[in-house]
Amino acid sequence: MTRAALRPAEAMLDPARVRDEFPILRRSQRGKPLVYLDSAATAQKPRAVIDAVSRFYEESYASVHRGVYELSERATQLYEHAREKVRGFLGAREAREIVFVRNATEAINLVAWSFGRRNVGPGDEVLLTHMEHHANIVPWQMLCEERGARLRVAPIRESGELDLAAFEALLSGRTRIAAVAHVSNVLGTINPVQELVALAHARGVPVLVDGAQAAPRIPVDVQALGCDFYAISGHKLYGPSGIGALHARAELLEGMPPWQGGGSMIESVSFDKTTFAGIPARFEAGSPNAEGAVGLGVALDWLESLGMENVARHEAELLDYATDLLDAIPEVRIFGRAAEKTGVISFTVEGVHAHDVGTVLDGEGIAIRAGHHCAQPLMERYGVPAMARASLGVYNEREDVDRLASAVRKAVEIFR
């Protein structure tokens, strides 16, 4: 067990203490102490995760599921133990409802090409929202083009909140699946997923939830949400890159065909016929990222040791502070004013391109994201080509936000 796993959940999150667990945050950027405000893109890794991956390579690395020797058995045990950790973190019923994938993008593609191809046909509809990441748009577009189906899009209000009445009205007798973000990667909006699922299920429509932004920030219970599919990415959860998970109700997975073929996902193979393994193995073709799964499991232990309620509270308090500071700068326009949102602030500076804002901040040692954030339809909705985005993590403090605001003021002065 790691020291993080042994630590009891704290009554309040201490960001200074948490920050000490991230070696990369001790470095400088452009000669100044690093302020990392790009956690919505990818989160940094605590020492517990770094050590776990290194230890797996040093002590337990072998091909999983395929060896009868002790080392392989040990690697397999750790890999499957990580699946159980994901199950517990998401509140799923059983471990076989967890499919390991590369990331949330691959999880969504899996559903689109396996469930979608079997259930979406000519004239059918797929319902999305206007705040979706490209990962929850493009696979459905590709599916609709192939199957002769139609993509429908529920609008959002100026505040960045979903128009629930419009979403409900777009659910039709031809809707075969709805795919929605739990949290917008641009606006930080927390969608009322439980309500959306209830509306969809009342019409017999299954729901996929893109949880890439939600899972690192707020408590998630897929059974309470009632969703049919839930996708997460490990690298946003303070875990390794190249690992993620799809949660899907077992009865749905059992009715879905494999979407990739190869080793591990088979029961038997001949040149005449192949029979496939049960779930979740039939969706995990080839040698898996076992070390990534182990690292993800440790990352989830580490997050839960902080307490997800504490993580959410910390982000909310820091978000309020950051919003007040940026609102005090007349040239700044913040996008996304939902009543329920996470620690993501997307903004523009009057007369300054978002990339120039990002460059100025980089010179001040501050890492933010600038661009369309894989959400070009959302940029069009707000009539801007790009936004600057500061996204908070468990390691951020008020001093980081103070430096952000100071650097934005500097950008205003430079381009005045």
Point out the residues that are catalytic: 374
Burial degree of 160 (CB within 10 A; 0-12, 13-18, 19+): buried
Amino acid sitting at position 71: L
What angle is formed at CA 227 by the lines to CA 222 and CA 233, rounded to 5 degrees?
60
CA–CA dist 323, 345 (Å, integer): 8
Name the 3-class secondary structure at 188: coil
What angle is formed at CA 333 by the lines to CA 327 and CA 338, rounded to 5 degrees?
80
CA–CA dist 9, 5 (Å, integer): 10
Show the DSSP H helices in 7-156 as ranges.
Answer: 15-19, 47-55, 70-90, 104-110, 117-119, 138-147
CA–CA dist 23, 191 (Å, integer): 34
Burial degree of 237 (CB within 10 A; 0-12, 13-18, 19+): buried
